[in-house]
Amino acid sequence: MEKYEIKSEVCVYQDSELSADDRELIESAKKATQSSYSPYSKFKVGAALRLQNGEIVTGSNQENASYPLGLCAERTAIFHAQHMHPDLPVQAIAIAAWANGHFYPEPISPCGACRQVMLEVEDRYQHPMRVLLYGAGGTHVVQTVKDLLPFQFVSSSLEK
Ligand code: THU
């Protein structure tokens, strides 16, 4: 039997330790929560992407009476950004959530489907995407989606 470990690195930053760009991205994700359409879960999620040219593109979760049809904030933002700017790598994504009248205190970690879509963005542009998960006690940051989704299935997996 052979055994190996896959390690991920997560850094937790207080607001004052973040760069101005990252603070702006987190504020954009927080603001995006307010455009969420989430009458069923009442859980408002906002995502903000920083593109290579510095532009910020946001999205929020969009639900449906036919529950499985809803889309998470991360994928709403990513698909919109790739439609608007198909040639621009995504440098970072920030995610925040709002529920019961306040920002959710714990960092919201993207669902498995969103992680796979985020991975495709890194793979497509061959550019790491930093992930910033806002929480009241600190923003949890990974330098690449690979830290959230080890053992990846990407385009090259289809070529072997
Ligand atoms: N949701 C997101 O938009 N992003 C996440 O990272 C986690 C979950 C949404 C999906 C659904 O509209 C609501 O939050 C509750 O699951």
Specify the CATH number for the domain of residue 118: 3.40.140.10
Q: Note the pTM of the prediction, 2 decimals.
A: 0.96
Of residues 61, 62, 121, 126, the one with CA closest to residue 93: 121
Residues of the chain short of pLDDT 70, as ranges, are none
Q: Is 11 in the pocket of ligand 1 (CB under 6 A)?
A: no
Predicted pLDDT of residue 160: 73
Give the pLDDT confidence of 77-105 residue by residue, as tens digits. Answer: 999 999 999 999 999 999 999 999 999 99
Asked whether residue 1 is domain-assigned, the answer is no
Token pair, residue 116, equals 């796979």
Token pair, residue 90, equals 């995504």
Q: Tell me what the pLDDT averaged over the chain comes to.
A: 97
Contacts 24+ apart (CB under 8 A), 124-129: 125/88, 125/89, 125/90, 126/89, 127/52, 127/89, 127/90, 127/91, 129/89, 129/90, 129/91, 129/92, 129/93
Based on the structure, what is the number of domains in the chain? 1
Measured CA to CA, the distance from residue 61 to residue 97 in angstroms comes to 10
Token pair, residue 15, equals 């607001």
Asked whether residue 81 is domain-assigned, the answer is yes
CB 27 within 8 A of CB 46: no
By most ligand atoms within 8 Å of CB, the mutation choice from 111, 116, 131 for ligand 1 is 111
Asked whether residue 5 is domain-assigned, the answer is no
- Structural domain that includes position 130: 13-154
CB 77 within 8 A of CB 59: yes
CA of 61 to the centre of ligand 1 (A): 6
Asked whether residue 63 is domain-assigned, the answer is yes
Asked whether residue 4 is domain-assigned, the answer is no
Predicted pLDDT of residue 131: 98
Asked whether residue 35 is domain-assigned, the answer is yes
Distances (CA, A) of 25 to 16, 19, 88: 14, 10, 17
Measured CA to CA, the distance from residue 133 to residue 94 in angstroms comes to 6
Give the pLDDT confidence of 31-43 residue by residue, as tens digits. Answer: 999 999 999 999 9
Query: Does residue 84 sit in helix, strand or coil?
Result: helix
Asked whether residue 6 is domain-assigned, the answer is no
Predicted pLDDT of residue 49: 98
Asked whether residue 138 is domain-assigned, the answer is yes
Measured CA to CA, the distance from residue 158 to residue 67 in angstroms comes to 31
Q: Is 43 in the pocket of ligand 1 (CB under 6 A)?
A: yes
